[in-house]
Structure formats: C-alpha cells, structure tokens
Amino acid sequence: MSGTVPFIREGIDAGEAVLVIVRDPKIELLRSRLEGDAAKVMFVDMAEVGGNPARIIPAWSDFVQEFAGRDRSARGIGEPVGPERGADELAECQLHENLLNVAFEPGPTWQLLCPYDMGALSGEVVEEARRSHPFCVEEGRHQSCCSYPGTERLNEPLHGPLPEPPPGSVELEFESGSLAALRQSVFSLAVEGGLDTARATEAVIAVNEVATNSLRHGGGHGALRAWVDDESVIFEVRDAGVFREAFVGRTRPGQDDASGRGLWMVNQLCELVQVRTSPKGSAVRLHFRGRLLASSLG
C-alpha cells in the first residue's frame, strides 16, 4: 500500500489514465485505501488477465493505445510475479518482465510500476527483478538498478533450456501426412491425462497448430512429447526451426496479418506456453489445466 497508493494518487491528480493489474485481494485493499478515488482507476485481476504471462503485454498494449497519447498520459501497476506462481510460470513471468522494456518502442511515453513482495519472494527472484528493471524504488528510495544489463540481453531467457520431462513421458514423431494420426493421439493422451472432452479438444487444436508450423518452418517434421505433472497435462513440440522474434505469440495480430496468428491463438487456449529456441532447433511447451482426473499418463 505504501508503495502503490502514492503512485496511483499522483496519476489521478495529474489527470492520467491509471490501470492496476494485481491479484483480486490486493484490488480490494487498494479500493479501500483510495476510497472515492477508486472510481477513477481501472482494476483488472492478474489471475484473469495474466494467468498465462504471454497475455499481459497485449493487455498493456491495448491500454496504451487507447489512453496514452498527445493529449493524455497514462500509468499502470502490474504484479505478474508472486509466491503463488510455480517454477514454470515464474520463468515465463521473468521473460515477460524483460520484454516489457522494449515492448512499446516506439510509442507514447507512459509509466509502469511492478511491485515485488520482498517478504514473500526468494532472494533469487528479487535479484532477477533487479536485472529486468532499469529503475528500482525501495523504501521510498528511487535508484537505478545496477544489475540491469541493458536491452541487448533482454531476450536471453528465450534461448535457455527447458527442464527435462519426467521419465516415462510419451514420445511421438510426426511428418507431412501424419497430422491426423497425431491429433488422434493428442486427444487420447489428453483424456487419459485427465482433461475433459472440451479441454482435450482445445489441446488438439493448439498442438495441431504448433505441429503445422513445424512442418512449414521447422524442417518438415518434428517430435511430440507428453506427460502429466501435479496440475497440468503438458505437450511439447520440438523441431529444427529457429524463432527469430522474441515477442512470438505475444503480439495481437492485425486483421491483415498473414502470419503470427498461430502462437497467438495457442496462448489464448493454454494456461502456459513456453517457447525456447537455439541454432539447433526450437521447443514449444503447452500446459493445459482442466478437470484433472485420476491419470496414468507419464
């Protein structure tokens, strides 16, 4: 409250548009502290907008396009990183925080404050925050983050490895002409993993989209791996292609865009999407949650 309320009131007093994206309990705390001024602020639950961190930049982009410009400034508060995040989600949140630094160039100037709960987060997470933000405010002191490397290294997490699947994960190879069989396998694996029919169908749509990209851009063939963790059914598609765009799947495609729609759609269907790339090839890992039942997959 001490770090965010003054920032919000400063924006209100300046006539700026203010959007706050945090978890719902904190929204209620802010509304209570702001009293009548709460009506001048837009609030969105981070669990709703940013459960999949790849959806957060498009949300800010919509806000900036609508409210920031020559006649009005804008500011926001976004808290994607919290103790409720699992390790995979946290990795994608940290990638998101890095990409925010260049996501709106060129464009109108606006301010974004990213709260980090130093009492609930590990020292490693806090230090990563210092590496992904050019400025920090701690106990009222505004300073440059000496760990911030500059924008040339911000997409490095996109090139890092993903954790290996557990032993016993299912592995399938596919090529041109075998997508129908792959879709059938994905549906069966999703249901076996505990997803209901509707969610399993969405898994088929998403995996098919990624596999189709493998055939078109990844050397004409690829490999699928599938397994279940404590809360998700996970599919991973690997191929020989290389992603050149750090914002892949994080930019809303325009009506006339001939490409870029596939991974955008996948991000709307999945609770989490992890993309990693290197000169040797790429991996796209899709996480699906639903009514997980007793499972024997993986």
> Mind listing the pLDDT tens digit for each residue in 260-293?
688 999 999 999 999 999 989 999 999 998 654 4
**Chain mean pLDDT for the chain:** 90
pTM (2 decimals)? 0.90
User: Shortest CA distance to 223 belongs to which of 209, 235, 233, 206?
Assistant: 235
Give the burial string for 122-144 (b: 16+ CB within 10 Å, else e). Answer: eeebeebbebbbeebeeeeeeee
Q: What is the mean pLDDT of residues 181-204?
A: 96
**Whether the predicted pLDDT of 84 surpasses 90:** yes
Cβ proximity of 262 and 210 under 8 Å = yes
Q: What is the pLDDT of residue 178?
A: 92
Q: What is the pLDDT of residue 294?
A: 42
The rounded Cα 195 to chain-centroid distance in angstroms is: 22
Q: What is the mean pLDDT of residues 160-174?
A: 93
**Whether the predicted pLDDT of 101 surpasses 80:** yes
CATH fold of the domain at 159-288: Heat Shock Protein 90 (3.30.565)
**Whether the predicted pLDDT of 295 surpasses 60:** no
**Whether the predicted pLDDT of 90 surpasses 50:** yes
Q: What is the pLDDT of residue 259?
A: 60
Q: What is the pLDDT of residue 255?
A: 65
**Whether the predicted pLDDT of 298 surpasses 50:** no
The more confidently predicted of residues 108 and 80 is 80
**Whether the predicted pLDDT of 244 surpasses 90:** no
Q: What is the mean pLDDT of residues 79-108?
A: 92
Q: What is the mean pLDDT of residues 77-103?
A: 94
Q: How confident is the model over 198-243, as pLDDT tens digits?
A: 999 999 999 999 999 999 888 888 999 999 988 899 999 999 988 8
**Of 87-96, 152-161, 188-197, the least confident:** 152-161
**Whether the predicted pLDDT of 186 surpasses 90:** yes
**Of 113-127, 187-201, 251-265, the least confident:** 251-265
Return the beta strands (E) in the chain as ranges.
Answer: 17-22, 42-45, 74-78, 111-113, 135-138, 141-144, 170-175, 221-228, 233-239, 272-278, 281-288
Give the burial string for 74-101 (b: 16+ CB within 10 Å, else e). Answer: bbbbbbbbbeebeebbbbbbbbbbbbbb
**Of 168-172, 185-189, 213-217, 294-298, the least confident:** 294-298
